[in-house]
Every structure is written in C-alpha cells, then in structure tokens.
Structure 1
Amino acid sequence: MAIVEVVKYDGPPDVFAWKHPNPELGTWTQLIVNESQEAILFKGGQALDIFGAGRHTLSTQNIPILQSLVNLPFGGKSPFAAEVWFVNKLNSLDIKWGTASPVQLQDPKYQIIVSVRSFGQFGLQIEDTRKFLLKLTGTMRVFDKETMTQYFRGLLMMNIKELISSYLVHKKISILEINAYISEISKHIEERIAPVFQEAGIRLLHFYIDSVNTPDNDPGTVRLKEALAKKAEMDIIGYSYQQERSFDTLEGAATNEGSGSGLMNAGLGMGMGLGMGGAFGNQMMDVTRQMNTSSSTSSSSAIYKGCPKCQTMNVHDARFCSSCGYNFLEASAPGQPAAFTCSGCSKPLPEGSKFCPHCGDPYTPCPNCGADHAVDAQNCAQCGHSLLAEQSCNNCGEKVRDGVKFCPNCGTSTSLRCGQCQHEVKPGQKFCLECGNKLIE
C-alpha cells in the first residue's frame, strides 16, 4: 500500500469517530483536521499526540515520541505505519432511543400487569477524545449514532424501567397517567446516567422522554381502559357497580320462573360471589319480601284475626285476645249490640278505638249515644242530638247555643259585659279594654 501524502477526514457526516483506512504514513505526510474535529495518532496500540484543527506534518519535530518509536535521528525522514482517528466534537442533539420490546410493569393503582414502551432522544458531545477512543472504539473503524445507542441501551433501559416503576409506586398513579410526569422522569434519568457517559469522555447535553405508552392490543391495557370507561359511564349516569349488578340479576330473575325464596338464595349466592354479599343480599331480601307480600296477605288474613280492643293479631280460633284478654265469644254472641261505624268509611270501629283502623279518621263520639260523627256535624245522625256547644242564660238559666247573642226565652243578652262600663268582653279576659276595670278577682 502506497504511503499517503495527505491524510484528511473522508468519513460520513454523522459519525462520532472515524479511522483513516490507510495506515502507511511518512514523516512528511500532511494531516488536515477540520474545525470541530480532533485527530489522534495510534502507533503500536499506543495513543500519541492529539491534533486540533489545522494542517500538521507528521514529523518527529511535531511528534517527539515518534522518534523513539520509529528509531530515526531527530529531523530524519522515513515511512512508518500508524493509525489516524478523527473525532467529531460537534453537539449531536438528535440521537434516538427506544425500548426494543414492551416492558412488563404492574399498575400500582389498579393492580394489573400492563406492557409499557417508551422512546425519546438525547444529545451529547465528545469531551475527551483520548478517553472516548480508548474506552469505546476498540478495533472498530466507525463509531456512529447507532453504535452509541446500542452501547448505552442496557444502561438506558435499566434506568428507565426503574424510574418509571418508582414514580408509579411513589406517586400512586396509573400507567395511563405517567405522561404528566415525563419531564420529571427525564430529568432524573439524565442526572443518573450523566456520570456514566462522563467516564467514557462524553458530556450528556440533555435527555428527553417523548412518550411512555402501552400497546393498543395489550390485554391488560384493554381491560383497564374498558373498566375506566365503564366507571366514567356509571359516574355520569349516577349509579354504582353493585347497583348495576343488582339490576342485571333482577332482570335475569324476571325472565325465569321460580319462587321468591329461590330468587333470594340465588341473589345471595351471586352477591357473595361478587364480594358484596351483605349489601347485595339485603337488597335481594327486600325485593323478595315485596314479591312475597301479595301472596302471603290473603293466607295471613285467613289464619289470623285482629282484636277489636287492642288491635293485636290472634290465631283465627282464639277465644280470648293474647294481649288484653278480650272475649271473642261474647263479642260474637247473639243480641250483642253492634259496634259503631266510622263516619268516614262506614266500617266498624273496634271498641276503645280513637281512630278508624281502616281510613284513619278520628273517632268523634256523640255525647248522647256514642255514635261517630263528622267533626263539623251539627246534629248526631244516629239520635239527632244537637252537637253544637251550649251555654246558660245569665237571667233565666235557659240553654242557649253558641253564637246566639240574645236568650230566646227572656231576651237577655248572652254576651259578657264589663260591670263598670258595660263594654262587651270575651271569656277569660282579665281587664276591660275600654275602661281598664279588673274583670277576674
């Protein structure tokens, strides 16, 4: 291979380090280094001097250590073999990274396993050329962005998985809410991995997470999203999961034949199976009780009878009331006077009743015969007795109904008057409003 007269960078534009393909050099070879680049010479596996931007001659004057390696007198000319590496020191801000496959994590909020994937980008700059080449390049000819990403992939994935998991646990949030904390997570990852890059002579400029998401076809994510959508629907409508299950069970029961007790047992079993046996069982018992009410009413009325005195229910063939001792036989004996009837519903009133047990109308007895009458009745419908309140005439003692101002027998005024000024006063009044005379001693 011919000796190279001029060595300059001829590699791709987006690489971090590139090795010149021809190692045959001479002490007269010209080395051209571009701006934002550095070149370093390797001889016998040993790193020699670093050359900055400009044009350099690879002579023993510029590389004193080369004299001992090539065994030339100072200032002599001779060919020699060496490797020339060019390192780009521009800021590279668009290095992409991403999870090769989804990472399995447990959602701490809903306790479900979901698959998580993430991607983003980071920026860096080669800060120490010698350290970078010695630690990372090895025998490679090119070190580009893809190589950089592959080299640090394990470091990135370990920290990303750990930090995302810790944020989910400490913040007690769902994986579906993690995107609200992307900025914080990115900053923490940058602080953690920056020292590792520094050890390789690389300065980490920034680290960004563009997205943390879950695959659309992940079973855990699908179930979680469906459950959240169902919960939102129930919150909007205004009922709970237990109520919905109750509705479903009752709807299914309505389409099946069976007794009330069978329905209750089925409801209780289902409620316990769903982890809500107590609440669901109570609901089912209430429903069953209502369903059985209509069927049990007729049979209960045939088996029991009520006491007309204290309203206690007794067996149908009882002779005496178990509560007050009322004699059912005497009540049904021939010649026994019939009980009074309610003036509101015309149904019999049990003895001692203050209200009608059928319609709730208050019992207002006639003072003469005891028959019930309406509150506003003027005469008893049973005996014709006047129900209007009466008072006696102060002059002749004749009974005078309320509201009558003069006695129909003697014509004396029935109204109360003050003994001093004869002004009309009301019953119970202590002083005359006209003259102030004291009426009650």
Structure 2
Amino acid sequence: MAIIRVLKYDGPPDILVWKYPHQELGTWTQLIVNESQEAILFKGGQALDLFGPGRHTLSTENIPVLSSIVNIPFGGKSPFTAEVWYINKLRSMDIKWGTSAPIQLQEPKYQLMMSIRAFGQLAVEIADSRMFMTRLIGTLPVFNQDALYNYFRGILMMNIKELISSYLVHKKISVLDIHAYISDISRHIEERVAPAFADSGLRLVNLNFESINLPDNDPTTKRLKEALTKKAEMEILGFNYQQARAFDTLEQAARNEGTQSTFMNAGIGLGLGSGLGAAVGSVMPQLGSQLQAAGAHRVCPQCKDVNPADFNFCKSCGSSLKETAQPPQEQQILCQSCGKPVLPGTKFCAHCGDPYHPCPVCKADNLPDAEVCSKCGADLGKTCKQCGTTVSKDVKFCPECGTSMILTCGQCKHEVKPGQKFCFECGHKLL
C-alpha cells in the first residue's frame, strides 16, 4: 500500500475519538489537525507525541523519539507504521445510564429493607488526551463507540450505588420523598464521581437523575404504601372517626338482648372500653348514659332473662325480681392530674397517661405519695417503689423485696416526709 503523504481527519462529525484507518506513514507525511482537535501518534502501544491544531510533518526533527523506535537515522527519510488517533476536544458524549439491578438499602425513616432503581444521563469530555488514550488503549479490548459508552457507565456505576445509599441514610431521607431531593442528589454524586473520571483524563460536564423510583413488584414497597394510605385516611377522618366506630360497636352490643347481663357476668363491661384504648375511653361517659337508658330493666337472677323495669316477677320463670333492681350509677372517678374520668380497672389515665393510684375504699385517684385519701380520708399506706406492693405506713422495709420505705434526702440522707419540698437539714431541693 502506498505511503500516505497527507493525513487528515475524515471521521464522522459527532464522534469523540477516531482512529485513522491506515498505518503506512513516512517521515515526510503531513499530519493536519483541525481546531478543537488533538492527534496522538501510537507505535507498539506507546504514545509517541501529541499534536495540537495545525500542519505537522512526521519527521525525526519533530518527533525525536521516532528515530529510536523505528531505527531511522536522525534527519533521515524512511517509511514506518504507526497509529494516528484524533480526539475531539469540544465534543461531549451524552450517555444514558441506569442501575442494572435494584439497590438494596435500609430505609432510614421506616427502618425497612427496600429496593430502589435509578437512571439518568451524564455528559463527559476529554480533558487530557494523552492520559485518556493511554488509559483506554490498555483497558479496552475493542476500541469503538459501544466500548466507550460501557467504559464511562462502568466508572459511574462503580460509585453510584454506594453514594445513593449513603446520601439517603446520612440525610435520613425516606425513599418515598426522594423525588424532592433529585437535584441535590445529582450535585452530590457529580462532585463525588468527578475525580474518578479525572483519573482517566475526562471531565464530567454534568450528571442528571431522570428518576429514582421503587419497583412496583417489590412486596415491601406494596406493604409500606398500603400502610401509609391507611394512615392518611385515618388522619383525614380524624379522631371523631375512632369515636364513632367505638360507639357504634358498643351501642350495637347494648341493643342485643341479654347484653347487659352478659357484660356483668363476664366482668368486661367497662374493661372492654379499656381494651379498645383511649378512643373508646373518651366515649365511655356517653356510652354509660346510653346503656342506662337502653337498660332500664331487671335481669332475672335465676334464668338471666331481661324483664321490663316495672315487673316484680320474671316473665319466664316467675322468680322474684324485687332484689334485682338496677343499682345506682357509680360516681365517676376523676384523674387527679387532668380532671377527666378514669376507667375502673385501668392503671393509667386514658387522657393524660398519669398513673392511677386508687383509694381502697372509695376508688378515688390520689397522688403517689399521699398517705390518706383526699376524698374520704382513708389510710392509703405506702407503695414500694421497687415492686409496687402496698404496705402499712409504719412499715420501714417492704416485706416483699426488702426495699427501704423511708424517704431520705438525696444529699444528706436525712429522713424527709412525703410532700416535703426541701430538706430541713441541708436545704437540698427534693424532687
């Protein structure tokens, strides 16, 4: 094949790197490099020289190292073979990228293992032609556009999974709110990935996320979305919805024949309200009046049948009903902390959460360190702070766990009385 006398760029206009198809050159060959281009001469995988825009003669005067590689006397003329690569310095390559498999991470808000996918676009341009060509000539087995795309994607994907996971975890961003942070995530990852591209002689022009989403077929995602939907519905309907549901349930039970006697015998009439929680507890006063109105009757002690209130004998078995009249309604127990009703049988106020300290006689709520009931004056004894056992007020040690029942100052250990705010010995403020 004839020796090439003039060598110039003849590749596509939108290509980033282009290799001249022929290698038969001579020391008289003219190399033409256009503006915004650079050319590199390769021989045996070694970069001989880098040429900027202009017209260059491939002589030993211009390329001194050429004489030692191809055994050409300095200043002599001789043919030789070499590769010429053109690099487009202004052209940036736009590359679509995406995670090949969902990224597994622990969702920081709900503490669930979830899968996310991400895809977007990046643009790179060559900053250091020699570094870029040296790195890629020894890295890529096939040097074409597809290989370049895969190479650039590989640089990004080596880092992006770790960077997305760390960003979400450290910022405590829920994967369900991630779309509001796409711009911030793009900038964060662009700053972290840019040095990896720079090591290959590349400049990362931009990095964009088009979407970060959750796979629709992921079971954890489905369960979380269903739970959040139910939560949103309850928040929209509000607490009145809970009250209505609880009231409907118990009112329906009150309308059933024999319901009141069943509740009394099972001992769960008021306990049911406690079991349903604070929502039911708040409607129990209303429910009590409803049950009283609906339950104006007498229950036979023998056959448990329900009779009208004006009956003196059971309509089913004839037993006397005189002693089965409805007892007077119990007086409400009020929480000493918030003043709202406390359900009998509960240990805490359903409205403020304050512990219920009942009087053994009248069931009134009292302060934890009270020695006598504030309502009826009954002796309340003392409660062991260790095991909760109620003991007589003159006992110095708990008979159950042996804990001292004497109140002492935390500073000087002198004995103090319940309700005392300062130690009489050292003046230390008592909690």
**TM value normalised by structure 1:** 0.56
Q: Distance in 2 between matches of 1:163 and 1:109?
A: 18
Summarize the alignment of residues 231-242 of structure 1 with structure 2, pairs less than 5 Å apart. Answer: 231-239=231-239
Secondary structure of the residue that 1:142 maps to in structure 2?
A: coil
Bigger Cα displacement from structure 2, 208-217 vs 198-207: 208-217
Measure, in 2, the Cα distance between the counterparts of 1:47 and 1:252: 90
Q: What's 1:190 paired with?
A: 190
1:36 counterpart residue number:
36
Q: What is the deviation of 1:54? A: 2.1
How many residue pairs are counted as aligned between the two chains? 304
Instruction: Give the match for residue 100 of structure 1.
Output: 100
Deviation at 1:133, TM superposition (A): 1.0
Which residue of structure 1 lines up, in the alignment, with residue 323 of structure 2? 304
Cα deviation, residue 84, structure 1: 1.1
In 1, distance between residues paired with 2:63 and 2:297?
116
Match of 2:163 in 1: 163
Deviation at 1:222, TM superposition (A): 3.2
How far off is 1:150 after superposition? 2.4
Change (3 A) 1:19 1:174: same
State the 1:296 CA deviation: 8.5
What residue is the counterpart of 1:59 in the other structure? 59
1:66 is displaced (CA, Å) by: 1.2
1:7-37 residue CA offsets vs partner (Å, 9 max, x unmatched): 3333344433222232221222222222211
Residues 64, 109 of structure 1: alpha-carbon distance in 2 compared, 3 angstrom cutoff:
same
Q: How does 1:354-393 map to 2 (within 5 A)?
A: none
Q: Is 2:18 the partner of 1:18? A: yes
Matches within 5 A, 1:331-342: none
Amino acid at match of 1:175: V
Partner of 2:205: 205
State the one-letter code of the partner of 1:124. Answer: V
CA distance in 1 between counterparts of 2:99 and 2:119 reads 6
Name the SS of the counterpart of 2:63 in structure 1.
Answer: coil
Q: Distance in 2 between matches of 1:256 and 1:135?
A: 85
Amino acid at match of 2:121: Q
Give the equivalent residue in structure 2 for 1:115: 115
Contact preservation (8 Å) 2:131, 2:201: yes
Determine the C-alpha separation between the residues in 2 that align with 1:111 and 1:245. 31
Q: 1:263 to 1:89 in 2, by over 3 A?
A: farther
Instruction: Tell me if 1:142 matches 2:143.
Output: yes
Deviation (angstroms), 1:169: 2.9
Note the residue ranges of structure 1 that are not aligned, 5 or more in a row: 314-441
Kindly indicate whether the alpha-carbon contact (under 8 Å) linking 1:268 and 1:284 is maintained by their aligned counterparts in 2. Answer: no
Q: Give the 3 Å change call, closer, same or farther, for CA 249–6 of structure 1 in structure 2.
A: farther
Cα shift at 1:291: 9.1
Distance 1:34 1:251 in 2: 90
Counterparts of 2:39 and 2:64 in 1: how far apart (Å)? Answer: 17
Partners of 2:286 and 2:258 in 1: CA distance: 14
Alignment-derived partner of residue 413 in structure 2? none
For residues 128 and 154 of structure 2, what CA distance do their matches in structure 1 show? 23
**Deviation (angstroms), 1:177:** 0.8
Q: Secondary structure at the match of 1:101?
A: coil
CA offset digits 1:348-400 (Å, max 9, x no partner): xxxxxxxxxxxxxxxxxxxxxxxxxxxxxxxxxxxxxxxxxxxxxxxxxxxxx
User: Corresponding residue for 2:338?
Assistant: none
Secondary structure in structure 1 of the residue aligned to 2:11? coil
CA 1:151–1:268 in 2, change beyond 3 Å: closer, same or farther? farther
| Conserved 8 A contact 1:264-1:285 | no
SS at match of 1:77: coil
Cα distance, 1:250–1:112 mapped onto 2, change above 3 Å: farther
Paired AA for residue 178 in structure 1:
I
Q: One-letter code of the match for 1:21? A: P
Deviation at 1:196, TM superposition (A): 1.3
Give how far 1:303 is off: 5.1
Query: Any idea what the Cα deviations from partners look like across 1:325-350, whole Å, max 9, x if unmatched?
Result: xxxxxxxxxxxxxxxxxxxxxxxxxx
Please, which runs of 5 or more residues in structure 2 have no aligned partner?
301-308, 310-320, 330-431
The structure whose Rg is larger is 1
Three-state SS of the structure 2 residue aligned to 1:125 is: strand
Distance 2:23 2:191 in 1: 40
Query: Counterpart in 2 of 1:83?
Result: 83
Q: CA deviation at 1:40?
A: 0.8
Q: State the alpha-carbon separation in 2 of the partners of residues 28 and 152 from structure 1.
A: 37
Please give the per-residue CA displacement for 1:388-427, whole angstroms capped at 9, x wherever unaligned. xxxxxxxxxxxxxxxxxxxxxxxxxxxxxxxxxxxxxxxx
Flag the 1:113–1:141 CA change in 2: closer, same or farther, 3 A.
closer
Residues 171 and 256 of structure 1: is their aligned pair in 2 closer, same or farther, counting only changes over 3 Å? farther
Structure 2 distance, partners of 1:249, 1:158, is 58
Task: Give the whole-Å Cα distance in 1 for the aligned partners of 2:20 and 2:132.
Answer: 17
Identity of aligned residues (%): 59
- Measured after TM superposition, the shift of residue 295 of structure 1 is 6.1
**Which secondary structure does the structure 2 equivalent of 1:210 belong to?**
strand
Residue in 1 that maps onto 2:5: 5
SS in 2 for 1:39: strand
Secondary structure of 2:100's partner?
coil
Return the TM-score normalized by structure 2: 0.58
SS at match of 2:16: strand
Whether the 8 Å contact between 1:18 and 1:85 is mirrored in structure 2 is yes
What is the CA-CA distance between 1:49 and the residue it aligns to? Answer: 1.0
Q: Aligned AA for 1:100?
A: S
Which amino acid is 2:58 matched to? L
* CA RMSD, 1 decimal: 4.2
- d(CA) in 1 for partners of 2:30 and 2:255? 97
Distance 1:67 1:97, change over 3 A: same
Give the Cα–Cα distance (whole angstroms) in 2 for the partners of residues 250 and 148 of structure 1.
72
Is 1:181 the counterpart of 2:181? The answer is yes
